[in-house]
Structure 1
Amino acid sequence: MLSTEHTIRELIERSRAAQKIAEGFSQRKVDELAAAIVYTFSRPELAREIAEECVAETDIGNVESKKAKLMNKMPAIFYQVKDVKTVGVIDRDPEMGITKIAKPIGVIAALVPSTNPEATPIFKGVLGLRARNAVIFAPHPASKKTSMKVVDIMREILEKNGAPKDLFICIDQPSKDLSQELMRQADLTMATGSGDMVKAAYSSGKPAYGVGAGNAVVVIDETADLAETAAKIRIGKTGDNASGCSAENSLVIHESVYDEMLELLQLQGGYLASPEEKARLQEVMWEDGHLSRDIVAKPVDRIANLAGINIPDNTAFLMVKETGVGKDYPFSGEKMSLVLTVYKYSEFDEAIDMVNRITSYSGFGHSCGIHSNNQEHIMQLALNTKTTKVIVRQPHGAANSGAWFNGLANTFSLGCGTWGGNIVSENVTQKHYMNTTWVAEPIDRQPASEEEIFGDLLATVNV
């Protein structure tokens, strides 16, 4: 039996051989290969087949949402990156004498979470390929069949288009030890998964782009269109059974619209748990302080049944009222399930404080949102919270990773800045998959005078 180190070394050697060939590919060649991959997976029949097999294997999420990731989300991602140059000279600034040249990273280790094993390999594979890298995928053991199938299809597309299929390799018997060794030997890790794996990526001795935990908190003030807001929250909350890190986790609602908002959420399929039902729900959702796998991204009726709650047939998600934040109030944390926590506030400063307290406990740096038509409130929230994104009047779960209806980079990897223990505070996209060489030529520029450098900035300071 091969050692872990030797097993990964063999995969790395195969990847490097393939990557050396890809290094000679033109921009047109990598774009054609990427287009073929995205198009193939966006076909309805294959998308549904993979989605159904994924849900059957993992018991996470739902078929329609996973199908939509392949048919809608990945084409949107490709549309956004396809004009980004990744080969040769990518930018020139004659005035500053600067020329930028894109170069491959080499071999990328791609961690694949069990919550998104159908789309993450395509996303990381396509962006890696466009930058002429090879990618080795480390799937979660609970979703390895799905990830293996997806990677095998990508390999077939490469091979029949004259590219080495070993540009994509998937570990067929994944384990934590193999993933850690892969991160140690690869040139860069794209880490998506549990907090432990992200920390391991940063401790591997190699560069890594990690993501942070989600726990999106959304403020609803008195100026919001409440009916429209309720509909958007249902969309954002229920996508893929709330498996994504961007799904709405808590609402902070102004007291003047609190009751009406709850009524409208119930019309959208929300079920408001009684205090007794909330207590039973808490018992089944957490085991020894950790989320139970029995509720993560599971259908709402299954969660309700576990807690002994009788819900109407049209229920889309559960709601619980909360006032506290922190370890003693687990509903204030990330739930990765069709359970939504609701808070009430009176003054807007109180809402900002609530967002900060909740995200400091869970989801630091990730994102928050607001439904408001008060621009001052929107900017107050953005200026005074430690989150990398503030989503305004949109379904948070659908908008935070980029969408046709906003200007964010479409992605499946969301950086949370130093607050979340990450090196990036933006959505990870094509530029993060390549190295850049800067060519600097001499320019005709004279040194600035002291007056030009300092201006009036020293007029009222002691020096």
Structure 2
Amino acid sequence: AAKDAQPKLVDMGREARFRIIENIKKRCLENTEKFAKLTVDETKIGRYEDKIIKNEVAVNFSPGPEDLDIKTYSDEVSTIIIDRSPYGLIAAITPMTNPTPGIINNAIVMISAGNSIVFLPHPAAHNCSLEAIKVIHSAIVEAGGPPNLITGAASSKVENVSAAFKSDNVDMITATGGPGIVRLSMKSGKKVIGAGPGNPPVIVDETADIEKAAVEIMNGASFDNNILCNEEKACICIRSISDKLLSAFSRNSTAVLNREQAEKVVSLIVKDGEINKDYIGKDAAMILGDAGINCDPGIRLVVFVTDQESHPVIQHEQLMPVLPILLVDSFKEAMAAAVRIEHGFGHTAMIHSKDIDRITRFGQMINTTNFIVNARSQAMAVEKAKGGTAWTIAGATGEGNTTPGSYTKERRMYVSGSMNFVK
């Protein structure tokens, strides 16, 4: 059905997409709180109030049809027109960590590009995802768009993904999730945009505004309990300023653990060298409570110090508000450690520093899609005029922050002869 709907959208003309997208945004904005509650109730991870913000960001900051422009070059010899055409039907795999904002964003950017979509939600977020799909579908039809422009299966099964990979009707696959699903997608033989995992490091050096760094990192790593793949997952701190940083953390809704407390928490959240999925997206206070550590219920983040880069909470994307702080003796060592910890995912990295030379060198060395300086990880959530916000950050396949243009193919027309009407 979605395959048949796509050419109907194209036949409506490009101006119709503006009307459709505006109505999608309107109806989704009316349902941000509903989507947030459904997501928390179903997935049991993250924070309700932060999920509202995520939905609002997806609605307000996702680039639309205005992202696509037609370029024309004309002189006395010829005219060249460069335009972009849709791929057709996109199979979009969405994660349990960002189900409704991911679907909102994907729908806006993919439909803006002229595509139709079959969504393949994570089984643990099936119901909230289906509700978002229904709201968006109704908004499309209400605005005069074709029915079935977006679809989703009545139940989320592994077999659905396999069927999409094999289907001749599917023209492109977008996989937003872990490394396994991205690797599987890339074996399908189809065009793939793969947004794999991240393990973003954040460096704090001796020149940083320590108090500001602690506030920004706390807000970044605790937002929705650190389940977004672009959030701070490991802090690398120059040893000489570690006491100042820990003190600043302790003043800003953060529990700073001693060695014994850290061992209790780590033994809880790490099992057999891997992250214990039972604690993914759980509140910091709950994690501490289960570890037998009393804390203020307002605590949003837990931090602990280690000298071991091999520590499992540093090496693995933990997806919970527990942030390891690796101490190093020099900035050179900090950069090298950050590159190793990021694992070449090409996703996101951060630094707090006032030294422009260091900032430049680290940015060049880490080579991530998003590089954030002296701000929290959510600083990349920017309005459309500044580039917009992506919920599919394709570090794995190189597209980076995806926009409507990411879901199109370039087309060129060459016209011989003079069409330059101005001398």
Determine if contact 2:274/2:316 at 8 Å carries over to the other structure. Answer: no
**Distance in structure 2 (CA, Å) of the matches to 1:207 and 1:148:** 25
In 2, the alpha carbon distance for the partners of 1:99 and 1:399 equals 36
Answer yes or no: is 1:128 the counterpart of 2:102. no
1:358 pairs, out of 341, 344, 355, with: 341
Counterpart amino acid of 1:144?
H
Aligned to 1:349: 332
Whichever residue aligns with residue 319 of structure 2, its letter is M
Query: 1:438-457 to 2 correspondence within 5 Å?
Result: 438-441=412-415
1:59 correspondence with 2:38: no
How many residue pairs get aligned? The number is 414
Q: Which of 263, 270, 289 lines up with 2:273 in the alignment?
A: 289
| Aligned partner letter, 2:33 | R
CA-CA distance at 1:150 after TM superposition:
0.6
1:408 Cα deviation after fit: 5.2
Give the SS at the match of 2:406: helix
Q: 1:413 aligns with which of 360, 383, 392?
A: 392
Describe the shift of the 1:153–1:404 C-alpha distance in structure 2 as closer, same or farther (beyond 3 A): closer
Structure 1 residue identity aligned to 2:83: I
- The structural deviation recorded for 1:62 is 1.2
Residue 421 of structure 2 is matched in structure 1 by none
2:15 aligned to which of 18, 28, 35? 28
Contact 1:36 1:157 in 2 (8 A): yes
Whether 1:153 and 2:153 are equivalent positions in the alignment is no
User: What's the counterpart of residue 278 of structure 1?
Assistant: 262
Distance 1:161 1:408, change over 3 A: closer
| TM-fit CA distance, 1:82 | 4.3
Residue 57 (structure 1) shift: 0.7
Offset, 1:406? 10
Q: In structure 1, what residue type is equivalent to 2:279?
A: I
Q: Which of 163, 168, 171 is matched with 2:153 structurally?
A: 171
Paired residues of 2:17 and 2:111 also in contact (CA < 8 A): yes
Deviation at 1:320, TM superposition (A): 1.4
> Root-mean-square deviation (CA), in Å?
2.0
- Aligned residue identity for 2:264: R
Distance 1:330 1:84 in 2: 39
Cα displacement string for residues 206-261 of structure 1 (whole angstroms, at most 9, x for unaligned residues): 11000121111111112211212211112211111111001111111223321111
Alignment match of 2:85 (pick from 100, 103, 121): 103
SS in 1 for 2:12: coil
Per-residue CA shift, 1:409-447, capped at 9, x if unaligned? Answer: 41001122xxxxx22152111111112211234599xxx
Q: Which has the higher strand share?
A: 2
Deviation at 1:386, TM superposition (A): 4.2
- Taking the TM superposition and a 5 Å limit, the aligned residue runs for 1:395-414 are 395-396=376-377, 398-400=378-380, 402-404=381-383, 407=386, 409-414=388-393
Counterpart secondary structure, 1:66:
helix
Cα separation, partners in 2 of 1:21 and 1:68, compared to 1, 3 Å: same
Equivalent position SS for 1:50: helix
Match of 1:93 in 2: 73
Match of 1:109, SS state, is strand
1:381 matched to 2:362 = yes
- The CA distance in 2 between the partners of 1:127 and 1:120, in whole Å, is 11
Given the alignment, which residue of 53, 67, 71 partners 1:84?
67
| 3-state SS of paired residue (1:29) | helix
Residue type at the aligned position of 2:29: S
State whether structure 2 residue 349 is matched by structure 1 residue 368.
Answer: yes
CA contact (8 A) 2:352 2:373 kept: yes
Partner residue, 1:256? 240
Q: Is the 8 A contact 2:65 2:113 kept in 1?
A: no
**Structure 1 residue 194: Cα displacement:** 2.2
Contact 1:324 1:332 in 2 (8 A): no
Query: Quick one: distance in 2 between partners of 1:311 and 1:182?
Result: 47
Moved more, 351-360 or 107-116: 351-360
SS in 1 for 2:66: coil
Question: Per the alignment, in what secondary structure is the counterpart of residue 296 of structure 2?
Answer: coil
Could you report, residue by residue, the CA deviation over 1:184-215 in whole angstroms, capped at 9, with x for unpaired residues? 32110111012211111111111100012111
Cα distance, 1:404 vs. partner? 4.4
- Residue pair 1:190, 1:210 contacting (<8 A) in 2 also: yes
CA distance in 2, matches of 1:423, 1:413: 11
Instruction: Mark the CA change 1:390 to 1:443 in structure 2 (over 3 Å): closer, same or farther.
Output: farther
Amino acid at match of 2:124: A
Structure 2 stretches lacking a partner, 5+ long: 419-423
- Deviation, structure 1 residue 99: 0.9
Residue in 1 that maps onto 2:94: 112
Distance 1:310 1:443 in 2: 79
> Taking structure 1 as reference, are residues 291 and 235 closer, same or farther at Cα in structure 2, changes over 3 Å only?
same
Deviation at 1:312, TM superposition (A): 2.2
Distance 1:388 1:409 in 2: 14
Q: Confirm or deny: 8 A CA contact 1:103 1:131 kept in the other structure.
A: yes
Structure 1 residues 151, 329: CA separation in 2 closer, same or farther (over 3 Å shift)?
closer
Instruction: Provide, for residues 151-198 of structure 1, a one-character-per-residue CA deviation record: whole Å limited to 9, x for no partner.
Output: 011111122222222001011111112112213321101110122111
Q: Which has the higher contact order (CA 8 A, sep 6+)?
A: 2
1:215 aligns with 2:199: yes
Matched, 1:305 2:305: no
Residue 407 of structure 1 and its aligned partner are, at CA, apart by 4.5
SS of 1:349's partner is helix
| Contact 1:184 1:206 (8 Å CA) reproduced | no
SS at match of 1:257: helix
Q: Secondary structure at the match of 1:308?
A: coil
Q: What SS is found at the alignment partner of 1:137?
A: strand
* 8 A Cα contact 2:226 2:281, kept in partner: yes
Secondary structure in 2 matching 1:126? helix
Cα deviation 1:344-367 (Å, max 9, x = unaligned): 23321111111122123xx63222
Give the residue type in structure 1 aligned to 2:73. Answer: D
